[in-house]
Each structure stands twice: as C-alpha cells, then as structure tokens.
Amino acid sequence: MSESTSGFAALNLHADVLAALNAVGYEEPSPIQAQAIPVILEGHDVIGQAQTGTGKTAAFALPLLSRLNASANTPQALVLVPTRELAIQVATAFEKYASKMRGVKVLAMYGGAPMGPQLKALRMGAQVIVATPGRLCDHLRRDSSLLNGVQQLVLDEADEMLKLGFMDDLEVIFQAMPAARQSVLFSATLPASIKAIAEKHLKQPKHIKIAAKTQTVSRIEQAHVMVHADQKPAVVLRLLEVEAFDALIGFVRTKQATVDMADMLIKNGYRAAALNGDIAQAMREQVVDKLRKGSLDIVIATDVAARGLDVPRITHVLNIDMPYDPESYVHRIGRTGRAGRDGRALLLATPRERRMLQVIERVTNQPVPAMALPGADAVREARLLRLLEQLQPLSEKAEDHRGAVRDELCKRLQCDTATLAAMLLSRMTANQAFTDAELKAEQPGQPQAGGARPERKRNDRNDRPERGERAPRGERSNDRGERGERPRRQREEEAYVPTPGSVRVRIGVGRRDGVQPKNLLGAILNEGGLGKDQVGRITLRDTFSLVELPEQGLAQILDRLKETRVAGKPLKMRRYRED
Ligand code: AMP
C-alpha cells in the first residue's frame, strides 16, 4: 500500500477495500469519511448531514462493504436513493470500492428501465442493492421476502426522496426489512419530516456533521464556472488561454487526476507537472522548486500533496475538482495572494455541487460569483497579447541580428517575408489548444455566461426523478428528452466546448431513424478501427447526429466508415461546421 493511503488504513476498513482505495488513488479520507466510517463500522445507526461533493457516498459504502459477508449471496445491504442517475452512480461507486473483493455483486434497481434484466440479476444473487423506492416496491410486490436478509440500510439524500413523494414507498420498504438492522441516513438538510423518520426507524442514531467555522479570505478575487465533469479539460484549457497567470496551482481529488490533467496540459504546450502523495518526497521538492524558480508554470496537485506549499509566484488557484469542505477551499486558495500580492481563485463546479458552493460562500462570508467562460474573441485577443509580449522586445534588434538569416531563408524556401512570418507564427502557436478554425466556428461570445452547459432547474443533479419518465434513450447523449427540439438544440450549441484534438462529425441518421447512441458507437468502433476513448460525445438530433472524433487522421476514419450502415441507412459522415 502506498504511504499516502495510510489515512484510510487507520480506519479499520477491510483489507480488500483498502486495496481498492489505493487503486482509485484517494489519498486520505474526507472529513465526513473520517467521522462516519468508524461509527458505521461499529454498527451504530447514523444521521449524517452532508451534501454531494463531501465524499458521502464512500463514507457509507466503505464501511458497508467492509462488514459484508461476501460468501452469502443474498441482499444484505440496501441503499435507497431518490433518482435513477444517483442509483447508477452509487452502484458504480460500490463496484469500484468492491473491485478487490471476490464475489461481491452490486445491483442497481431503478424505474424507466425494464424489470426483466433486474429480476435476472436478482436471481443471480447480489449482496448490495442500490434502488429507487418506487422500483424497489415493484420488486417487493413480486417477492415480499426480497429484503428479509437486509442487515444494513442507507437512505441517501433522504430529503430529496421525501420531496419526490417517496414517503409511502419508504414505509412499505421499512416494513419489509428485519427490525434488527443498522440504518444510516444521509441528508443535506434535516427538516422535521426527516427527523420524524429518524425517530421512528433509527435506533439511538449518532449525529455526524462537519462543523463549518467561518473563514476569512482576503486579497483573493474569486469566481466560479459551472461545468459538467466531462468538460473540465476543455474548460481548463480555455481558462488558461485568457487568465494572465504567472504560476498556477490546480487542485484535483485523485492522484490519477493529477497525472491525467498535467499530461493533458503538457500535450497542449504548458510547462506543467503533477504533485501527489505517490511521488517521492525528493521529486515533490524538485517540482515545487521548479515552480518557484519559474521553470514550471503549472502544478496539478491533490490537497495532501500541496500542503504547506508556499510559492509567491502563484497568481492563480484553479479548483478543478470541488474541495470537500470550506476549510480546504480556504487552504487551497490561500496558496495564492502570498507575500501581500493579489491572487485569483477560480472554481469549476458541476450543477450537483451547487449546494457546496453555497456552503463555501456562507462560511467564507463572500460571494464566489459566476463568470462566463471566455468566448472566441477573448481567446483570440489573449493570444495576440501573448504574441505581442513575446515579440515586442525583439522588434528593435531583430533586423540587426537576423536580417541576413531571414533573407537566406526566404531565398531557399522561395517565399516572401510575409509567408516566412506566417510560417514562424504557425510554429510559435503550434501547441495551442484551440485551432483558429475551431474558434471561428464558434459564435462570438460563446460559450455563454454562467456555464459551459445549460443547467436544469428542477433538480440540483443532472437527472430526473424516476416517476413518470420515459425509458432511457441512451447513455452518451446530451438528450434530456423532455423539452422541445429547438431550445434544447440551442442550449447544446451554446454550451458546446470542443474536446481538444477532436472535431465534430455529422452523421446522416438521427433519432427519427430509431438509432441510439450505442448503435452509432458500436458501428464507429467496429468499422472505424477506433478505440473507445477516441470517440467523444454523441448527440442525437431528430434527423441527424453529431459525434466527436479525433481530428488527426479524420479523413481515413471517414473513409473506413464510408460503407457503414446503421438502422439500414448509410451514415453519410462529414465534418460538421455550424454556419
Ligand atoms: P460524493 O460526495 O460521494 O458524491 O463524492 C464526490 C466525489 O469525490 C466522487 O467523485 C468521489 O469519487 C470523490 N471522492 C470521495 N472520497 C474521496 C477521497 N477520500 N479522495 C478523493 N476523492 C474522493
């Protein structure tokens, strides 16, 4: 085990769970985890007050898995969640944390999907069920003994479940479970209705809440950008284009993310490095030293690795992943504004993390206002300024020193000085994250203020309640299937941020042809000779679809897919350009 997982090691978790944590790269428990895990492991009932982004899922999943009897193949742990998306997300988290445990199976049960596969999976056996209350009740009607062996129950986002009208279903489920069980309730808020449930169904629960001390933040200008998780790399690149930073520190949650993000930045021409607990101390010191001396400009770090980092050159802190609590936010942004200088702190927040953002604002007693993601014009202007900055000092002496070389180059290349200048410019800007063509394709001022993608009003999370919704249309689509085509399309366009190195390709079949994103993905992977990670977002429209494909080698890819048909129709793929 790595030295850096030792925070978890002290918590008495199952060795296989610890091994999985090491594999996913968590460095240390978040505050809610540090408090909740020992109490849940001891078997107490718990009321935890925590919102999304605090690491609450692992706070209950890790101790639950540690107490599981993997050799018994019947449902022992039940997690109830308000929505289908959360069910999938929590089940995926359980699978991740159980990846080193032999024979542990996790089953997600939610509405809007056929019962058949869920019933089949049940028959195959699963120790952990993650369910929405409505669908679980449907299953209970078929088999009232389904929950007879449940020893641990979690109500996740209990306030949301009540808001969505699941009270009656919850009562049915409580009745179907043994009274002698452990119950854990997590909720962002604790209204009277939640307290009543706790009173009735929990036994001497221990209360867990992260106390938020007021923190002061000075001389640091703060702002946030709303993004969806998959857009973060593109958004980071865009911010770096326009923010005039000297040195910058970016914070992410996992060791892997430090490496991925730093690699991505290096590929885009930045002098960047990762800093995490797995990197040997001597090496870490070297990274910090380079940052201090100016031979590195960007460090992507976890909270643990950046502890105590004091480099006056840091003008910007970029919170790429949300911190777990306001205290760590304040610690993070305190890396800038050192030695009496001004600093700037930017925060990328996903729609589900909105509540955490509010908590940060409340505790720091300062707004963290929304900022518009810089549009094409701003990027172009910033690039020009950078080039000017680089070239200006050379303008006087260039003639004396390089005139002869310039003339010789023009002669040998058989070009004029303007062409030579263009060639040198393209060399100087070769590593730019956004090609000029991509910038031109973007409407001025887009992506729009306040976010890289439009937000949904009803729910904090990017999902819908399970009731009354239609069957899922496909996982990789932007499609929410609930509003008109035009507004949705407009919103998608406004929100679109290209993935670096990718372009959008139009496919001549759409929703009306009965295709789903997975059909298109399958065809492109099979016939196009691409790896899964080379195919980006697939967006279905009524009469056509869009897919992100690598720009490099695009002509060959399209050529390979020339004859391919989906739903009996040719794909007719071509590069997509909005006009
Ligand atoms: P949650 O609040 O449960 O929705 O978790 C928010 C995010 O934090 C998820 O993407 C988790 O994978 C991540 N996460 C949870 N605990 C840790 C940890 N101790 N270290 C790093 N990342 C974590």
Comparing 244 with 300, the larger pLDDT belongs to 300
pLDDT at residue 70 is higher than 90: no
CATH code, residues 478-575: 3.30.70.330
Mean per-residue pLDDT of the chain: 83
Which of these ranges, 4-8, 441-445, 517-521, has the smallest mean pLDDT?
Answer: 441-445
The structure tokens listed for 511 are 């929703």
Q: Which of 535, 537, 540 is nearest to 515 (CA)?
A: 540
103-115 core/surface letters (b: 16 or more CB in 10 A; e: else): ebbbbbbbbbbee
The residue whose C-alpha atom lies closest to atom 5 belonging to ligand 1 is 55
The confidence band for 257, taking pLDDT boundaries of 50, 70 and 90, is very high
Residue 41: half-sphere exposure toward Cβ, Cα within 13 Å: 18
Q: Which of 306, 345, 318, 347 is nearest to 28 (CA)?
A: 306
DSSP secondary structure code for residue 507 in this structure: E
Angle of helix 15-24 relative to helix 84-97, nearest 10 degrees, comes to 110
The residue whose C-alpha atom lies closest to atom 8 belonging to ligand 1 is 55
Helix/strand/coil (H, E, C) string of 277-293?
CCCCHHHHHHHHHHHHH
d(CA 248, CA 237): 13
CA of 57 to the centre of ligand 1 (A): 7
Among 28, 30, 186, 463, say which to mutate for ligand 1: greatest number of ligand atoms within 8 Å of CB: 30
CA of 341 to the centre of ligand 1 (A): 33
**Looking at the domain 220-373, which fold is it?**
Rossmann fold (3.40.50)
Residue 468, C-beta contacts closer than 8 angstroms, at least 6 positions apart: none
pTM of the model: 0.60
The strand pairing partners of 224, in sequence order, are 347, 370
Amino acid identity of residue 287, one-letter, is: V
Question: Looking at ligand 1, which atom is closest to the CA of residue 28?
Answer: 19
SS3 call for 220: strand
pLDDT at residue 1 is higher than 50: no
CB atoms within 10 A of CB 509: 24
d(CA 453, CA 231): 9
**286-290 CB contacts, 8 Å cutoff, 24+ apart:** none
> Which CATH code, of 1.10.10.1110, 3.40.50.300, 3.40.1360.10, 3.40.50.920, is assigned to 3-209?
3.40.50.300
> What is the signed CA dihedral for 411, 412, 414, 420, rounded to 10 degrees?
-80
In this structure, the residues whose C-beta lies within 6 A of any atom of ligand 1 are 26, 29-30, 33, 52-58, 253-254
Q: What is the pLDDT of residue 485?
A: 40
d(CA 167, CA 158): 10
d(CA 31, CA 29): 6
Question: Looking at ligand 1, which atom is closest to the CA of residue 51?
Answer: 2
The residue whose C-alpha atom lies closest to atom 6 belonging to ligand 1 is 53
Domains of the chain by residue range: 3-209, 220-373, 377-418+433-442, 478-575
Read off the pLDDT of residues 416-443 as tens digits, 9 standing for 90 and up: 989 988 888 888 776 665 566 656 555 3
Structure-token match 């996740």, residue found: 156
Comparing 114 with 80, the larger pLDDT belongs to 80
Comparing 517 with 264, the larger pLDDT belongs to 264
Q: What is the percent of the chain with per-residue pLDDT over 70, rounded to a whole number? A: 83
CA of 92 to the centre of ligand 1 (A): 12
CA of 170 to the centre of ligand 1 (A): 27
pLDDT at residue 397 is higher than 80: no
Q: Do domains 3-209 and 220-373 have the same CATH topology?
A: yes
The confidence band for 462, taking pLDDT boundaries of 50, 70 and 90, is very low
Secondary structure element (H or E) that encloses residue 110, with its range: none
Tell me what the mean pLDDT of segment 385-413 comes to: 80
Exposed, middle or buried by CB within 10 Å (0-12, 13-18, 19+), for 236? buried
CA of 115 to the centre of ligand 1 (A): 30
CA of 59 to the centre of ligand 1 (A): 9
The residue whose C-alpha atom lies closest to atom 9 belonging to ligand 1 is 55
Q: What is the pLDDT of residue 298?
A: 97
Angle of helix 376-391 relative to helix 232-242, nearest 10 degrees, comes to 50
The confidence band for 455, taking pLDDT boundaries of 50, 70 and 90, is very low
CA of 223 to the centre of ligand 1 (A): 23
Q: What is the pLDDT of residue 322?
A: 95
Highest mean pLDDT among 207-221, 243-257, 436-450, 481-495: 243-257
CA of 52 to the centre of ligand 1 (A): 9
Q: What is the percent of the chain with per-residue pLDDT over 90, rounded to a whole number? A: 47
Among 57, 89, 352, say which to mutate for ligand 1: greatest number of ligand atoms within 8 Å of CB: 57
pLDDT at residue 508 is higher than 70: yes
CA of 254 to the centre of ligand 1 (A): 9
Question: Looking at ligand 1, which atom is closest to the CA of residue 26?
Answer: 20
Read off the pLDDT of residues 213-227 as tens digits, 9 standing for 90 and up: 566 666 789 999 999
The confidence band for 18, taking pLDDT boundaries of 50, 70 and 90, is very high
Residue 286, C-beta contacts closer than 8 angstroms, at least 6 positions apart: none
Is residue 78 within 8 A of residue 153, CB to CB? The reply is yes
Is residue 364 within 8 A of residue 217, CB to CB? The reply is yes
CA of 54 to the centre of ligand 1 (A): 7
What is the end-to-end Cα distance of the chain in Å, rounded? 54
* Sheet arrangement for strand 298-301: 220-226, 343-349, 314-319, 247-251, 298-301, 272-275
Q: What is the pLDDT of residue 368?
A: 94
CA of 30 to the centre of ligand 1 (A): 8
pLDDT at residue 457 is higher than 90: no
Antiparallel, parallel or unpaired: β 545-550 and 502-507:
antiparallel
Q: What is the pLDDT of residue 276?
A: 93
Structure-token match 């190195």, residue found: 501
Q: What is the pLDDT of residue 439?
A: 60
Q: Which of 236, 133, 215 is nearest to 177 (CA)?
A: 133
SS3 call for 522: helix
The residue whose C-alpha atom lies closest to atom 18 belonging to ligand 1 is 26
Q: What is the pLDDT of residue 237?
A: 93
pLDDT at residue 476 is higher than 50: no
365-384 core/surface letters (b: 16 or more CB in 10 A; e: else): eeebeebbbbbbebbbebbe
d(CA 275, CA 291): 11
DSSP string computed for 234-293: HHHHHHHHHS--SEEEEE-SSHHHHHHHHHHHHHTT--EEEE-TTS-HHHHHHHHHHHHH
Is residue 146 within 8 A of residue 140, CB to CB? The reply is yes
Dihedral of CA 326/234/482/547: which sign?
negative
The residue whose C-alpha atom lies closest to atom 13 belonging to ligand 1 is 55
The residue whose C-alpha atom lies closest to atom 14 belonging to ligand 1 is 55
Q: What are phi and psi of 525, to 5 degrees?
A: -70, -45
Among 253, 319, 328, 461, say which to mutate for ligand 1: greatest number of ligand atoms within 8 Å of CB: 253
Q: Which of 183, 155, 181, 182 is nearest to 169 (CA)?
A: 155
Q: What is the pLDDT of residue 578?
A: 55
The residue whose C-alpha atom lies closest to atom 20 belonging to ligand 1 is 26
